[in-house]
Amino acid sequence: MKALALALALATILTQAPTFRTSIDRVQLDVSVTRNGRTVPGLTAADFIVADNGSVQEIESMGLEELPLRVQLVLDASGSVSHEKLRRLIDAGTGLLSALRPSDSAGLITFSTAVDIRVPMTRDLEQVKRALGSVHGAGATSLRDAVQLALAIPPVADARTVIIVFSDGADTSSWLGDAEVIESAHRSGIVIHVVAVRAATVASRFIPDVTEAAGGRVFSASSVDDLGRLFTSALEEMRARYLITFAPRSPTPGWHTLKVSVRRGGIDVKARSGYFVSTPR
């Protein structure tokens, strides 16, 4: 019955249009700024240039936001994730959960042939750790469906949400195609980081494309020994992100392409590629 209920819930979510989660009056951007893989601290609003559909915007506020994090773990539990790889994955996830603050929350979704919400978003991190410790690898890989389900979980106003995905191979059993999930990532405003072994990143364009759409990063593991370090890096990267707020000068309905840059050389900037304004009803 639980599996049937989850399947029906997933089917409902997957057929719904993505929800636009940014106010037309104000747009907030989580922006990652790094140089040679290290975060760049100490920037001010004057260092950033934000263009909305090619028009440079006036930044109202900018800072290193201290809002609590909501970390949605989305972990591959297919048949290839077993033995030492599974142990390393559980250790990496447990380490990330231990690094969260008392005000933070986390949830756990696993995916194989089916997608399973193991623990809904909660501040009871010990519950998430227990569920993580019981994961066993079996079945195929429904990566795209799992990411879509994570994107459909509503955000809250007083926290910042990040989806951290782990996968070790290509998608083999999702209902959805790349384009549908990437479109949801475009519209959601939620940062997606992916920790992946090399086989997953070269198998298709989905992983780099969905992280690009969501303003996130791919953390590529050369071996399972890297998982703990990369999960920690993904969390630290999220905490070091700048939060930029601006009021669009022309909030016309439709897709707005965003480009964020910094007035310094040798810097890598990651932010979501745009936002969508619905037509008034």
Q: What is the largest CA-CA distance in the chain?
A: 56
pTM of the model: 0.89
pLDDT at 134: 97
* Domains present along the chain, CATH in parentheses: 27-65+245-277 (no CATH), 66-239 (3.40.50.410)
262 in Cβ contact with 35 (< 8 Å): no
pLDDT band at 82 (very low <50, low <70, confident <90, very high): very high
Whether residue 162 has pLDDT greater than 80: yes
pLDDT at 65: 64
Whether residue 233 has pLDDT greater than 60: yes
pLDDT at 278: 79
The token pair that represents 24 in the structure block: 């037309």
pLDDT at 9: 46
Span 36-63, pLDDT tens digits? 988 999 999 999 999 999 999 999 988 7
The token pair that represents 183 in the structure block: 């479109």
CB atoms under 10 Å from CB of 15, counted, come to: 8
Report the pLDDT averaged over residues 17-21.
Answer: 40
Q: Between 3 and 200, where is the model more confident?
A: 200
Q: Between 277 and 121, where is the model more confident?
A: 121
pLDDT at 37: 85
Whether residue 265 has pLDDT greater than 70: yes
pLDDT at 18: 41
pLDDT at 89: 97
pLDDT at 199: 63
Closest CA to 271 of 237, 248, 247, 231: 237
Span 115-134, pLDDT tens digits? 999 999 999 999 999 999 99
pLDDT at 200: 61
Report the pLDDT averaged over residues 231-247.
Answer: 94
Report the pLDDT averaged over residues 135-157.
Answer: 93
23 in Cβ contact with 244 (< 8 Å): no
pLDDT at 245: 93
**What percentage of the chain carries pLDDT values higher than 90?**
70
pLDDT band at 2 (very low <50, low <70, confident <90, very high): very low
Report the pLDDT averaged over residues 137-143.
Answer: 96
DSSP state at residue 106: E
In sign, the C-alpha dihedral spanning 56, 68, 89, 151 is negative
Whether residue 113 has pLDDT greater than 60: yes
At residue 195, what is the residue type?
A: V
Residues in the chain: 281
Query: What dihedral do alpha carbons 182, 185, 186, 189 form, nearest 10°?
Result: -170
Span 175-223, pLDDT tens digits? 999 999 999 998 888 999 999 987 666 668 999 999 999 999 999 998 8
Report the pLDDT averaged over residues 3-19.
Answer: 44
Whether residue 35 has pLDDT greater than 70: yes
Mean pLDDT for all residues in the chain: 88
At residue 262, what is the residue type?
A: V
Report strand pairing: 27-35 vs 242-246. antiparallel
The token pair that represents 181 in the structure block: 């999930």
Report strand pairing: 268-270 vs 254-262. unpaired
pLDDT band at 156 (very low <50, low <70, confident <90, very high): confident
- Helix orientation angle between 178-188 and 206-214, rounded to the nearest 10 degrees: 20
